[in-house]
């Protein structure tokens, strides 16, 4: 039987390794947008994303099991205020006309190392006109915790248009 001191030392080494692994961990990534009209791509956009404070805290809770909600919802909005660390919601979320928050298709893709990036993809099919200027990732169909938010120059959509939104969150 191993001594308690030896087991304690092994545990300390494992904890140091675990801490060093997560010390440099950060979330970064991009959001990609395809604007389609009559089946044709009429605009493409790409931006780096910002992960907000509450989202980072929720991810920390997911790692150790304190929280359990996966970030699988994409929302659109018409807000124009630049994203900030303290954001907890979109400025002006769209809730009708095909632009309402939707469950995305989640997957993992490779950015730097195998499966290091969470990817969410959703296509919004509009039945009304909107001036879309923001998007975000959430852990619930309504309210919930926001992980990421980004604003962009206006995408004027009309009934019949589609926006395919792809969020990629890279765990560096």
In a domain, 113, yes or no: yes
The more confidently predicted of residues 87 and 39 is 87
What's residue 9's pLDDT?
61
134 domain-assigned: yes
pLDDT of 20 over the 50 cut: no
- Asked if the structure places residue 148 within a domain, the reply is yes
Note whether residue 10 is domain-resident.
Answer: no
When pLDDT is averaged across residues 129-149 and rounded to a whole number, the result is 96
| Residue 19 in domain | no
Q: Which residue has the tokens 């920390």?
A: 60
Residue 4 included in any domain:
no
- pTM summary value: 0.83
State residue 15's pLDDT score. Answer: 46
Note whether 110 and 170 are within 8 A (CB). no
Distance CA(81)–CA(90), nearest Å, equals 9
Measure the CA–CA gap between 37 and 70, rounded to whole angstroms: 32
How many domains does the chain contain in total? 1
Query: In which domain, by residue range, is 41 found?
Result: 24-171
The mean per-residue pLDDT over the stretch 155-169 comes to 96
Cβ–Cβ contacts within 10 Å for residue 39, how many?
A: 7
pLDDT digits (tens, 9 = 90+) for 26-39: 677 789 999 999 98
Distance CA 58, CA 52 (A): 10
């Amino acid at each position: 039987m191993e001594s308690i001191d030896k087991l304690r030392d092994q545990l300390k080494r494992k904890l140091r390794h675990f801490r060093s692994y997560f010390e440099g961990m950060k979330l970064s990534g991009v959001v990609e947008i395809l604007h389609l009209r009559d089946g044709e791509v009429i605009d493409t956009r790409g931006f780096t994303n910002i992960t907000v404070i509450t989202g980072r805290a929720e991810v920390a809770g997911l790692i150790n099991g304190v929280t359990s909600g996966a970030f699988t919802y994409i929302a659109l909005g018409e807000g124009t205020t630049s994203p900030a660390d303290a954001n907890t919601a979109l400025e002006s979320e769209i809730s009708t006309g095909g632009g309402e928050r939707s469950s995305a298709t989640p997957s993992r893709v490779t950015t730097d190392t195998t499966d290091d990036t969470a990817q969410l993809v959703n296509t919004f099919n509009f039945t009304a006109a909107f001036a879309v200027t923001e998007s975000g990732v959430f852990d619930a169909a309504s309210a919930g915790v926001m992980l990421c938010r980004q604003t962009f120059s206006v995408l004027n959509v009309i009934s019949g248009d589609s926006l395919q939104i792809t969020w990629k969150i890279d765990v560096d």
